[in-house]
Amino acid sequence: MCWRLLDMAVIAAEALKKKKSDFYLGKVYQATFFVDVTLPHTLASLETCMRTGREIVELPETAF
């Protein structure tokens, strides 16, 4: 989703150089907001999935 928004923002930024438009400005702001809010959560989730800790797997059954 982010890369599509970024594509649209690049096109909108080029169009804004030629003519001021709230529509194009909205595309840039939308992409900026979404990327700033979504990517940190996505990266944090990836780090959690890729961590090397195996505490849960190595925990003996008697620990419960």
Token match 């620990």: residue? 63
Q: What are the DSSP calls for 36-58, one per residue?
A: HHHHHHHHHHHHHHH----HHHH
Reported as a single tens digit per residue, the pLDDT across 26-54 is 999 999 999 899 889 989 999 988 888 88
Every domain of the chain and the residues it spans: 2-46
Name the most confidently modeled range: 2-6, 27-31, 49-53, 56-60.
27-31
**Cα(55)–Cα(4) distance, rounded to whole angstroms?**
38
